[in-house]
A and B are shown apart, each in its own frame.
Chain A
Amino acid sequence: MSFLPFAAAADTVRLTSQTRILAAILAIAFMLLILELIRRDRLQERYSVIWFVAGLGMLAGAAFPGLLQVVADAMGVRDTNVALFSIVLFFLLGLALNFSVIMSRQAAQITRLAQERALEKARQQSDEDRNGNGASAREGERQSS
């Protein structure tokens, strides 16, 4: 796939080469940060994929500003800035939702873990009571009232 048409369209999106270099540096720094976080076990690989994709997107935008014009045209948006901000906004919205889903799952797991521990202790206590005093912790059949 050739990027030439995108490069040719670059002048319609007015980015100075200074901005493009700055954006590229930021994108690369961002991806390096992600790598570093993984390396230090501060971020799990499975949650890092999306951030790498975001970093690559930033890099692509810096390298080929024409891409943004293509996307804006595809969206039917005249102003490329609006296109850029809406894409970023929806991306972050999706990501936040994704975190809520992960958080809910983990909250459920934590709850179950806490319950299992509590039950385990109660069961131990019940066994100790039964063996300790010899008296049965379980009574016979209850008369229904």
Chain B
Amino acid sequence: MRTLVFIPAWNEEASVSSVIADVRAHIPGADVLVVDDGSTDGTAATARASGVLVASLPFNQGLGAALQTGYLYALREGYDFCAHLDADGQHPAAEVARLLAEVEADRADLVIGSRYRDPDAAAQSDDYKPTFSRRIGIGVFRFFLTLATRQRFTDTTSGMRAANRRVMSLFSAHYSPDFAEIESLQLAVRQGLRVEEVSVRMLERTGGSSFLTPLRSAFFIFKGLVVLLVGQFRPRRAEAEQ
């Protein structure tokens, strides 16, 4: 069984090497691929110096395209399972290993690490606190994605996931470049894949800042709703190649 852990990174020079070290420590058997999304800093060089594979996109393409690159690599190189986590240090690799265990045990095709699955734990933990505008966005997407898929999702924008080959082949063919996280969940459920959430803890980001201002949040939410609505009209199970 071969496993690929890929890390989409855009100008994450400061944190990428510690994330790689974390992955190596907690998921020792996996190959690591850093998808450098057109970084202008030393992200690619730092990652290469850590001895992992680096796929450098020639220019910034957005998170969706970077993630798809990882899925494409995993599919083509014949990995049985893959997982991805953010490069900013929010996602502990130990939690990613738990997600991988779920797909390896074949309990699901796609597993999402959720910060909010377990409300008690989230309330107690002081690891991760969303801002107000973020909380609104989370609530709206949670509601509409649950409505659209008839399956309960708590953390729709989580970038910590594990997947098997069915998901790889779906996502390497279809992955929205703009609205990667939400639309991909909707797509996977509509294609009849087993999508499961696992409660995980996440940390405050070590570097960088959130890109969300209130106006951007509003636009983000609006765009997300349009994407979800359009997604409801996509054909079901059309292209879930095995």
Q: Chain A: residues with CB nearer than 8 A to chain B?
A: 107-108, 111, 114-115, 117-119, 121-123, 125-126, 129, 137-145
Contact = CB atoms under 8 A, between A and B. Distances in A.
A137 B31 contact: yes
Interface in B2-33: 2-3, 27-31, 33
Given A114-B59, A119-B73, A126-B53, A138 B31 contact: yes
Contacts of A138: 2, 31
Contacts of A125: 48, 53-54
A117 B100 contact: no
Contacts of B72: 115, 119
Contacts of A137: 31, 53
Contacts of B30: 139, 142
Given A115-B57, A118-B56, A145-B98, 11 more contacts: A107-B177, A114-B57, A114-B65, A115-B61, A115-B65, A121-B54, A122-B53, A122-B55, A123-B77, A142-B27, A145-B100
Chain B contact-residue range equals: 35 or more
B35 A139 contact: no
Contact of A119 (B27, B29, B55, B104): B55
Interface string B27-58: 11111010110000000000010010111111
7 contacts: A115-B61, A118-B69, A122-B73, A125-B48, A125-B54, A138-B2, A144-B105
List the 3 closest A-B pairs by CB distance, nearest first.
Answer: A142-B29, A122-B55, A118-B55
Contacts of A140: 29
B177 to A, nearest CB: 6
B68 interface: yes
A124 to B, nearest CB: 10
A7 B71 CA distance: 65
A114 B101 contact: no
A119 B69 contact: yes
Contact of B58 (A118, A139, A142, A144): A118
Interface in B81-104: 97-98, 100-101, 104
A10 B145 CA distance: 59
B215 interface: no
B223 interface: no
A30 to B, nearest CB: 36
Given A114-B59, A121-B56, A139-B29, A144 B69 contact: no
Contacts of B36: 118
